[in-house]
Chains A and B, each alone.
Chain A
Amino acid sequence: MRVTTESATMTTPTMTDPAVEATPSQPPEIRPPGAMVPPRPIARARDASAPRNEPEARPANPAVELSDVSIFYGAFRAVRDVSFSVPAHAITALIGPSGSGKSTLLRAINRMNDLTPGSRLDGEVRYHGTNLYRADVDPVEVRRRIGMVFQKPNPFPKSIYDNVAFGPRLNGYRDNMDELVERSLRQAALWDEVKDKLKQSGLALSGGQQQRLCIARTIAVEPEIILMDEPASALDPRSTLQIEELMAELKENYTIVIVTHNMQQAARASDRTVFLNMGDDRAGYVVEVDDTVKIFTNPREQLTEDYISGRFG
């Protein structure tokens, strides 16, 4: 890894108001109209430290940048010195063999790893320039901005309506809840199927519908980034395709990071691909980061080619 200084331009130190600090890299239309959460600062003050390590070919407009991230579970290092950036309004896929730390990295982006006792992170995860692991950053606020969809659909044992309204209610949303629920379900391509049974349990839906409900639930809090950990792995091919189409629509308004084991899915659905491998010490590391087309047609590393062509992993 080479140390460069050029990336210091990413953080413009002249801007001091944390509430608007993200404006140059954050297009104004990032939230759907009627965004409910007033833009609150994610932290009290601005991060002064400039980013250091960056891999080559960094996209221009990153929503998230990881630099030299190592993640530990107790004494075990699950991920070693990972750096990559996540372009805004695009789909970034994390691929790699089982145990290479894809889920671990994904959870690091919205600080879900904090919930695992004994987990620890070295390095920086910057969100529009602010290190999310700085002491004064509130993880709860991070998760409101960076939502997550899990591998197994996990709706609450509540009605479809209450599932979608759960997050907005937490945030004290008091506007037209019906409208927000409808809009979220429409965005998740589920509205037509459930509009007549909003009072029914979310658990009464099919697996694919449940997963779209979970996406609607995530959308309802109007995050900027949506993390998805193998969101279609528990679904049939038709539901899988639906989820992929949905992601393509969502990237207009959201930045998406997806973990997948499905090479076709990564090739079809993502714009950018991060390929991770597991080292001899069982710690995951980045082998190659590039545009998805490049990774799948003309990878730089032999290892990448072996993996995507199914020769290992």
Chain B
Amino acid sequence: MTSRTTTLNPGGIASSGRGRLGDRAFRWAVAAGGITVLLILALMIGSTTLDALPVFSSQGIVDFLTGITWDPGVSRTEITGTYQAGVFMFGTLVTSLLAITLALPLSIAIALFLSDVAGPRVARPLAYLVELLAAIPSVVYGLWGLHFFAPTVLKPVAKFLSETLGFIPIFEGPVVAFNPFYAGVVLAIMILPIITAIVHEIFRAAPAAERQAAYALGATRWEVMWQVVVPRSRPGIVGATMLGLGRALGETIAIALLIGGGTTINISLFQQGESIAAKIVNTFQESAPEAIDALIALGVTLFAITIVINMAARLIVRRLGDLSGEAIS
């Protein structure tokens, strides 16, 4: 017996060489993965910025961002046209803001319903359904909006709004066939599931003990939801909103199908607009090399907008986290 134990464990505490090898290999694999990601990112930023640089320098960065003329040239070697992104940036921001404005309150309401109102027998299948909706490809949303939702549902709504509230510039008629309003609403439907799914998870993570404490103080279910669950979840809600906004900003196909392809800034939601991503896909194929560089410059701009919004979100989340007290020592 004694001899057997010694042969089984000859090296004592230092014998785990195989485990160490695996450890080292794993560390290398992880490091390689990380470096690859960084390389790809650097390559992407580097090459796009390189292509976009002549456009930025020939137009001037301020004019590029604020001007509203897009008049592409046909040169293969130099920049001869006028390239200004204002119209498209406006369209991107308008559709994204409209989408988030419509989607966020509805998402919070649905998430609260799932976490605090519906019983598990209703909530579980419904939550699953929401996750399924998030998985539908955006081109399907776009086609559905194009052929069904916009003409049968949104058109009457738009007509009604322009007739009753037409004195407000954003609702001014006439309502054209495709417009930022349709794009924004369909975009809202697209980002609704993902925001709802995340916010639902956040609400579910709110401790039962806090809900109980509020109930024991004589809170109604409504008060528990709005004064305990929602306030403590604010940082997470901001995060989910930013994720939805990110998706809205970059969304291409559905918007390209619905926004109307305008060439000027229209304050009214019911007249043609154009977004950055839609402009790129709509004109990429028939563009001369210099115009393609200009489209890449548009892409770089969109990327920059997304980064700025993301950083702002991080700041807000950190600030809110401080307020809600978890971070206080």
What residues make up the interface of A, taking CB atoms closer than 8 Å to B? 110, 112, 115, 117, 140-141, 143-144, 147-148, 150, 152, 154-159, 166-167, 170-171, 200-204, 214, 217-218, 221
Kindly name the residue among A154, A155, A157, A200 whose own CB sees the greatest number of chain B CB atoms within 10 A.
A157
Binds A, one of B145-153, B190-198, B212-220, B236-244: B212-220
B200 at the interface (CB under 8 A from A): no
Which of B40-48, B173-181, B279-287, B321-329 is found at the contact surface with chain A? B321-329
Contacts known (A156-B228, A157-B326); A148 close to B216, Cβ less than 8 A? yes
Interface size on B, residues (CB 8 A): 23
B8 within 8 A of A: no
Decide if B218 touches A154 in the complex (CB within 8 Å): no
What are 21 A-to-B residue pairs whose CB atoms are below 8 Å? A112-B212, A115-B212, A115-B215, A140-B219, A147-B216, A147-B217, A148-B216, A154-B210, A154-B212, A154-B213, A157-B210, A157-B324, A158-B231, A166-B214, A167-B218, A170-B218, A201-B324, A204-B325, A217-B213, A218-B217, A221-B217
Q: Tell whether, in the assembled complex, residue A143 and residue B216 are in contact, meaning their CB atoms are under 8 Å apart.
A: yes
Q: Are A201 and B328 in contact (CB under 8 A)?
A: yes
Contacts of A112 in B (CB 8 A): 212, 215-216
Is the pair B218, A143 in contact by a Cβ cutoff of 8 Å?
yes
State whether B232 touches A156 (Cβ < 8 A): yes
**Alpha-carbon distance A143/B217, docked complex (angstroms):** 6
Question: Pick the contact of B232 from A148, A157, A200 — CB < 8 Å?
Answer: A157
Q: Which residue of B lies closest to A147 (CB)?
A: B216
From A115, A117, A201, A217, give the contact of B217 (CB < 8 A).
A217
Complex partner residue of A117 from B119, B207, B219, B232, CB under 8 angstroms: B119
Q: How far is the CA of A158 from the CA of B232 in the complex (A)?
A: 8
Select one of A144, A170, A201, A218 contacting B325, CB under 8 A: A201
- Does the CB pair A150–B215 fall under 8 Å? no
How far, in Å, is A167 (CB) from chain B's closest CB? 4
C-alpha spacing A112/B232, complex, angstroms:
22
Closest residue of B by beta carbon distance from A145: B218
Residues of chain B contacted by A152 (CB below 8 angstroms): 209
Contact A154 B119 (CB under 8 A): no
B217 touches A167 (CB 8 A): yes
* B227 contacts the other chain (CB 8 A): yes
The reply to whether B218 and A166 contact each other, CB–CB distance below 8 Å, is: no
A202 to B328, CA, bound (A): 10
Q: Are B232 and A221 in contact (CB under 8 A)?
A: no
The answer to whether B215 and A143 touch across the interface, beta carbons within 8 angstroms, is yes
Distance (Å) between the CB of B210 and the closest chain A CB? 6
| Contact bitstring B229-257, A, C-beta under 8 A = 1, else 0 | 00110000000000000000000000000
For residue A142, which residue of chain B has the nearest CB?
Answer: B218
Measured between C-beta atoms, what is the minimum distance from A152 to chain B in Å?
Answer: 6
Are A110 and B216 in contact, CB atoms less than 8 angstroms apart? yes
- Known contacts A157-B324, A201-B326; A221/B209 CB under 8 A: no
Q: Which residue of chain A has the shortest Cβ distance to B207 in the bound complex?
A: A154
Residues of B within 8 A of A147 (CB): 216-217
CA distance A266 to B329 in the complex (A): 35
* Residues of chain B lying within 8 A (CB to CB) of residue A110: 216
Sorted nearest first, the 4 A-B pairs with minimum C-beta distance are A201-B325, A144-B218, A148-B216, A154-B209
Contact yes or no, A203 B328, CB < 8 A: yes
How distant is the Cα of A115 from the Cα of B326 in the complex, in angstroms? 27
**B324 neighbours in A (Cβ, 8 Å):** 157-158, 201
| Closest beta carbon of chain A to B236's beta carbon, Å | 12
Q: If the complex has contacts A140-B218, A140-B220, are A157 and B325 also in contact, measured as CB distance less than 8 A?
A: yes
Once bound together, how far apart are the Cα atoms of A154 and B210, in whole Å?
6
Does any Cβ of A come within 8 Å of B223's Cβ?
yes
Assuming the A-B contacts A154-B212, A157-B232, are A166 and B227 also in contact, with contact meaning beta carbons closer than 8 angstroms in the complex?
A: yes
Q: With A152-B209, A214-B213 as given contacts, are A158 and B325 in contact (CB-CB < 8 Å)?
A: yes
Question: Are B212 and A150 within 8 A (Cβ)?
Answer: yes
Q: Is the CB of B119 within 8 A of A221?
A: no
Contact A156 B210 (CB under 8 A): yes
Task: List, in ascending order, chain A residues with CB within 8 A of B328's CB.
Answer: 200-201, 203-204
Are B210 and A144 in contact (CB-based, < 8 A)? no
Which chain A residue lies CB-closest to B325?
A: A201
Determine the distance from Cα of A221 to Cα of B297 in the docked complex, in whole angstroms. 61
Question: In chain B, what residue has the closest Cβ to A37?
Answer: B218
Which chain B residue has the least Cβ–Cβ distance from A202? B325
When each residue 147-167 of chain B gets 1 if its CB lies under 8 Å from chain A and 0 otherwise, what string results?
000000000000000000000
Chain B residues closer than 8 Å to A221, beta-carbon distance: 217-218
Cβ distance A51 to chain B, nearest Cβ, rounded Å:
26
Q: A140-B219, A202-B325 are in contact. List 16 more A-B contacts (CB 8 A).
A: A115-B215, A140-B218, A141-B218, A147-B217, A150-B209, A152-B209, A154-B207, A154-B213, A156-B213, A156-B232, A157-B326, A158-B231, A158-B324, A170-B219, A171-B218, A218-B217
Query: Complex formed: what's the CA distance from A144 to B217 in Å?
Result: 6
